[in-house]
Structure 1
C-alpha cells in the first residue's frame, strides 16, 4: 500500500533544521509529502514523469521513491522511522527503516541533477544519512559530529548536492551505526547517465537489491543488535526465501543486476545457467578490458557489484549466495552433528515422556523440509519453499531467475514454473546396476611414509559449532 502522510502535524509541531548547508526560504516554504510503502511486493519500475528521461530500475521486493521538481531541483522526502517488515509469509520483524520499509526506497536520479533530500527523524534517537560512494560537498557527507550536527528526534534536515557521476550507490546512517544498520536502515541510490556512456550499455531489465542480515530469535520480533557474525537470517532487501520474488526476464533480454552488501561478511553471488560480466562497482563502471566472464562474484562488506548477462537459456535458474549457511532460515549454530548416529532406542524412550520429540540431522538436514514440526508464533522454517518437483530445501539468500521466451517486454509478472521439454529433466534409473570397479592398489602419495601403523586408526570428526570462520 502506498500512502502520503503529513509528518509535520499541526503548525509548529516539528522544527525544520537546515542541515549542513543553507537552503533558500523559497525551497523550505513547503516540504514534499513523504510517500509511504508497506507492501513487501516488487513494485513496477517508476517511469520518470519529469526531468531527464532514463531507463528505471526494478527494486526486488521494493520500490522507487517519487520526487517533485522545484525550480529545476529534484526533491525527495525520506522519513527515518520504526517499521514492520514481513520477511516471508508468516514471519514479521520489527525493524527501523525509511518510508514504511526496510530497506528504504530506491532513489533514482540522472547525472547532473541537482537533488534536495529532506530527512525527517521519527526514531527515538539521533540519526543522519551518509550517501555511500557519492562525490559531494564535505558538509553533505552525513557523518554525525564530523560533517554535520545529529538529526534529533522530531527534526528535519536537508541535504542538497549535484549527482556528479553515474553509478550505483547506497545510503545508510553514520550515527549509532551499529544499532541503526543492524535494525535495517539502508537503501539504494541509482544515478543514471545523462547521455550514452562508453562503459554503460543499455539493458532491457535492471534489478537492484541489498544484502542484509539479522539475528532474530524464533518467536521474537526484534533483531539482536550486538551480534557480530552469528546471524540466523540472511536476506535480500530484508526478505528471506521463499519470500524473495523471482527475477522475471524475457529470453534474450540483456539483464543487469546491481547488488549492494551492508552485512558483516562477504557473499559470493552465484547464478545458474548463464555466465555474466562484472560491469560496475561502487567506484563506477569497470573498464571493458578488465571484464571477464564469471558465474560467481564475491561482494565484500560495503561494496556494490553490478553484473550483466544475456538471458538466452530458458528455465527457472537458481540465483543465490554460495555460502551454504546463507541459504538457511532461523538456523541455530550450536546443533551437534548427528549424521551416522543411531539413537532410535533412545528416541523411543524420550518420546514416551515428550511425544513431540523429533530427532534432527541423523541423516542430514533435508528431512527438515518435509517435517510438520511446530514452530514458534513468529519465525520461518529453516528450509522451505515448494517447487514443481517438491521441497526446494533452501532459504535465506536464494531466488530464481525466470527466463521465458513468451514474456512480454516490461512484464514482470511471475509466469509460473517452467514447462520442461520432453526428455530434458533428470530422472530415476530403474534398470540393472553393475558393481563399481575399484582400483586394486592405493596411491602412495608423493612421499611414502617411513612406517605405516599396523592397526588401522578410526578418526571421528566433529564439526565445530559457531560461525567464527566467516
Structure 2
C-alpha cells in the first residue's frame, strides 16, 4: 500500500494536492468520520490518477483539472465533495470568482468502475442550499439529486450522503438541481467516468483518454463575478472554465489511440472540430454507440446537456487545431453591440477622436484580425478578444480553442508540452514569388437564372406601426 507521501509524489512537476488519503485500510474511528477533504487550486492539467486500490482501470486525464481520490470503506468507494466559492484563473490575466467543488470549477473528475458501490459525502459551503444530480446515472430515485422532488436541499453548512451502484460504463456529469440557473452559471459542475469492469464488446482500450466540460460565462471587462441572469450573450466560452490561450494542449504520441470525452453544460450547442484527423463518436451519456452505428467525422455537435465521446488514431504528426466551430465561441470578452465598421474609412474621424482621447484606436475597417496583435489598453481583469502567439505569429483565436500535439518521440504516458512542431523542409505554405496571370472569365458565366420578363422599379412605402395591432 502506498503512503500519503508516495501518493502526492505521483503528481510530479504538475503540482501537489493540498491533502490526500492513505491507501491503508480504514480504521473503526475513520469509518465514523467523513473522508478527508482533498482540494486543488492550480489550473494545470494533472497526470492521470492510477488506482492503488479497488478494481483496476485505465485512468482519464482531465484537461486543466484532476481526478478526486477516494478511500475504501468495507468495499465501498467513498468520496468527499465540498461545494464552495472558488477563484479560477481562466487564463493568465483573468481570474473569476466562481462556485465549484474542492477548490476548483469545474470540480474534480470522479472515476469508478462498473459495479462499484459508491458513497459520496457532499458538504455545502455555499451561501444558499444546493443538491447534486448525477447526470446519466441509473440509481435509486431518492439519490437522483433534484431538490424538493427527490430530496430535501443541502442547507449551508450541512452534509448529505449519496450512495448507489455505478451500474453501467460511460461518460457522465454531476451538477446541482437547486437554483440551477445561478449555480451552473457560477461554474458548479464536474465530470464522472465509469470504466468497464473488463473487456467490453463496444468499448475499446485506448492509449490516451481526455475529458473536459464546455461551460460559458458573462463576466464584464473589469469585473470578477459572472452575471447569472445572462441567457445567451456570454462573452467567455470555455473548456473546464479555461479560455485560450489558457487551455492546455492535448499531448499524444504518434499512432496512439485517443479518446476525448466532452460534456456540454452551456446554453447552446457546440460543433467540436479537430484538424488533421477523422474520428468516430463511440459513446454518449446514454452509453457506448454500437459499432454498426458509427461513421467517420471531423466535427460533431454536442448539444446542451449531452456528453460525446470521440476516438481516433493520432497518426499524423503536427500541432493540430481543436476547437468549437462557432466562430464567436473562439473569441474572448467579445462585445455584442459593436457597430459593423468593415469598409468604413475612419482616418479623419480617428484623428479628431485621438485629439480628445489619446489612447483611442480605430478598428474594424478591414476586419478584426489586427486586434490579435494590438497593444490596446485593457480594463483590469480581462483579456484581448483574440490572443496567443504561435511559431508563425499571432493566433487569431480565444475561447474554446486548443491544440492536439502529435509527436513520434513522445514517451508513453508523457503529457508534457513538447513545444512547437518542427515542420519538415518544404512542408509549410509560403508566399508565391512568381507572376500573377490575369483571370480568364467565360462570357457565358453569370446572369440571372430566371430574369424578369419586364423589369420595373418598385416603390416601397413604409408605414410605422402605432401599436401592437399593426405588427
Matched, 1:3 2:6: no
2:142 pairs with 1:139? yes
Shift of 1:440: 2.2
Q: 2:256 aligns with which of 245, 253, 256?
A: 253
Match of 1:311 in 2: 314
Shift of residue 395 of structure 1? Answer: 0.3
Cα distance in 2, alignment partners of residues 162 and 454 from structure 1:
73
- 2:230 aligns with 227
Structure 2 match to 1:210? 213
TM-score, structure 2 normalization: 0.91
Is contact 2:31–2:73 with CA below 8 Å preserved after alignment? no
Report the equivalent of 1:87: 90
Query: For the residues of structure 2 that align with 1:100 and 1:416, how far apart are their CA atoms?
Result: 29
The equivalent position to 1:113 in structure 2, one of 113, 116, 122, is 116
Deviation track 1:95-115 (CA, whole Å, cap 9, x = no partner) reads 000000000000000000000
Aligned to 1:356: 359
Please give the alpha-carbon distance, in whole angstroms, between the structure 1 residues aligned to 2:177 and 2:75: 29
What's the CA shift string for 1:100-150, capped at 9, x where partnerless?
Answer: 000000000000000000000000000000000000000000000110000
SS of match in other structure, 1:81: strand
Counterpart-to-counterpart distance in 1, 2:86 and 2:124? 13
Which of 399, 409, 412 is 2:402 aligned to?
399
CA deviation vs aligned residue, 1:167-224 (integer Å, no higher than 9, x gap): 0000000000000000000000000000100000000000000000000000100000
Residues 209-218 or 353-362, more deviating? 353-362
Matched, 1:266 2:269: yes
How far apart are 1:445 and its partner, in Å? Answer: 4.1
Q: Quick one: which of 370, 380, 384 aligns to 2:383?
A: 380
Q: 2:245 aligns with which of 235, 242, 255?
A: 242
* Mapped pair 1:67 → 2:82: no
CA displacement, residues 304-342 of structure 1 (integer Å, 9 cap, x when unaligned):
000000000000000000000000000000001101100
Superposition pairs of residues 405-424 of structure 1, within 5 angstroms? 405-424=408-427
**Are 1:343 and 2:358 matched, yes or no?**
no
Counterpart-to-counterpart distance in 1, 2:240 and 2:115: 28
Q: For structure 1, which runs of at least 5 residues remain unmatched after alignment?
A: 7-24, 456-470
**What's 1:18 paired with?**
none
TM-score, normalisation: structure 1: 0.91
CA distance in 2, matches of 1:181, 1:451: 59
The answer to whether structure 1 residue 286 and structure 2 residue 301 are counterparts is no
Q: Report the 3-state secondary structure (helix = DSSP H, G, I; strand = E; otherwise coil) of the residue aligned with 2:329.
A: helix
Q: Secondary structure at the match of 1:348?
A: helix
CA RMSD of aligned residues (A): 1.6
Is contact 1:27–1:70 with CA below 8 Å preserved after alignment?
no
Whole-angstrom CA distance in 2 between matches of 1:186 and 1:126: 15
Equivalent pairs, count? 438
What whole-Å deviation, never above 9, does each CA across 1:211-244 have from its counterpart, x for those lacking one? 0000000010000000000000000000000000
Q: Deviations over 1:230-285 (max 9, x none)?
A: 00000000000000000000000000000000000000000000000000001000
Q: Report how far residue 449 of structure 1 moved.
A: 2.2
